[in-house]
Chain A
């Protein structure tokens, strides 16, 4: 069971490394979106410190949503996905592998970049740590949940906008607990409870989301 998993991860990572610009587009989008808010709101440090968790989190959420389309679309176009569904391996394992590879390529850079953006908002060190921890727990959950939407909208005309409409409402719990953890730490309450909830969402989505994604892929490739 683990052999096809690692095979899919290695394959997707190799493909991603040969098309590095895709990775950077997502990352640069994240940086630009997060940098736009101070320009719109004003450079007052206290206000910025207060809104930073929400803005960094919403930025990460939008960036990872924009990257979702790439999970399956290239494989769908050249028929690789169909071949994958025909293999005797369980589809949900292949889905987990693809989502994990996708997260390594598009999610991890966001997590690495977040503390640097946090500096723009004058966040203290321990708040930064919680920000990274919450993103580390939250972004894989975003990729897992988003994969369902990506599979459902595979090959549709208005795929991109439709994907946002389907996936964003489902992202709300992750956003609430992710930004909440950072905010609770900043206000001195401690973000433990929020991080535990995020971890619970991650575990839950790791179990359920691949099944739904696999079902959706079967429908799309039928």
Chain B
């Protein structure tokens, strides 16, 4: 019975995960390049011009997938942190660590492109809209996690401390989102609605999905490449890493 089950814990060992990560990284790099090239071509040349916002709306094809990814990656990191705290596996914390810079980058891209989009559409670089504000706070949470990680020298303590921080953060994200939302409606009433186009052209939707999948593949590729370096750095005194470097030299 047990022989038929896949032994998931086999790959929780950094040594056996290291070669697998390389394979996943290569495959998803290829997928990411293909999808993003197709997605960018479609977003610039295939998707129709928006009747209200003109050509400027095309920034949506980067902006929305980046926002989705920034939120999704935080939840994934919290999931890895929970796994790491429960099973005490080193690799889980390494995965969370490897994902953090990518998530922070997506949050930043989301804010940056949003700002570029807001200037021609709303006439301002920044609005204290609920979603923009919570995206900014999400970026702060990423930065806090990375700062805590970097401040702790002992890697095992860093794993667990930053894991607790991630879990605290993920509990707080919905609370922060709703409080910001209510704060905004109480303050000024939403004069600008970001979702005024409820019906979307099908080509636009497909383009956005392709871009999202491309960003997914990118995030996986980069996280796997980064986790490989994290593994090498952390396990540098183990025999298998020494064997690896000796073989390369």
- A contact set with B: CB distance below 8 Å: 148, 152-153, 156-158, 162, 165-166, 168-170, 172-173, 176-177, 180, 184, 197, 201, 208, 212, 215-216, 219-220, 222
Contacts and interface: CB of A to CB of B under 8 A. Distances in A.
Nearest to B139: A169
Given A166-B144, A168-B140, A173-B179, 19 more contacts: A148-B164, A148-B165, A152-B165, A162-B151, A165-B140, A169-B169, A169-B172, A169-B176, A170-B169, A172-B137, A173-B172, A173-B175, A176-B179, A176-B183, A180-B186, A212-B164, A215-B164, A219-B164, A220-B157
Interface string B104-139: 000000000000000000000000000000000100
Interface of B: 85, 137, 140-141, 143-144, 147-148, 151-152, 157, 160-161, 164-165, 167-169, 171-172, 175-176, 179-180, 182-183, 186
Given A152-B165, A220-B157, A166 B148 contact: yes
A169 B137 contact: yes
A197 B180 CA distance: 13
A153 B157 CA distance: 11
B179 A222 contact: no
Contacts of B183: 176, 180
A77 B45 CA distance: 64
A81 B141 CA distance: 28
A202 to B, nearest CB: 13
Contact of A220 (B85, B161, B168, B169): B161
A197 B186 CA distance: 14
B171 A162 contact: no
Interface centre among A152, A184, A222 (most CB of B within 10 A): A152
B92 to A, nearest CB: 15
B140 A152 contact: no
Given A152-B165, A162-B151, A165-B144, A184 B176 contact: no
A125 B186 CA distance: 23
A222 B164 CA distance: 15
B168 A148 contact: yes
Contacts of A173: 172, 175-176, 179
B161 A216 contact: yes
Closest A-B pairs by Cβ, 9 of them: A173-B179, A169-B140, A176-B183, A219-B160, A166-B144, A176-B179, A165-B144, A156-B151, A152-B161
Contact of A169 (B141, B164, B186): B141
Given A166-B144, A173-B176, A153 B151 contact: yes
Contacts of B172: 169-170, 173
Contact of A219 (B140, B157, B171, B176): B157
27 contacts: A148-B165, A148-B168, A152-B164, A156-B151, A162-B147, A165-B140, A166-B144, A166-B148, A169-B137, A169-B172, A169-B176, A170-B172, A170-B176, A172-B137, A172-B176, A173-B172, A173-B175, A180-B183, A184-B186, A212-B164, A212-B167, A215-B164, A216-B161, A216-B164, A219-B160, A219-B161, A220-B161
A201 B175 contact: yes
Contacts of B141: 169
A51 to B, nearest CB: 13
A216 B164 CA distance: 7
Contacts of B147: 162, 165-166
Contact of B157 (A184, A201, A208, A222): A222
Contacts of B151: 153, 156-158, 162
A53 to B, nearest CB: 12
B144 A177 contact: no
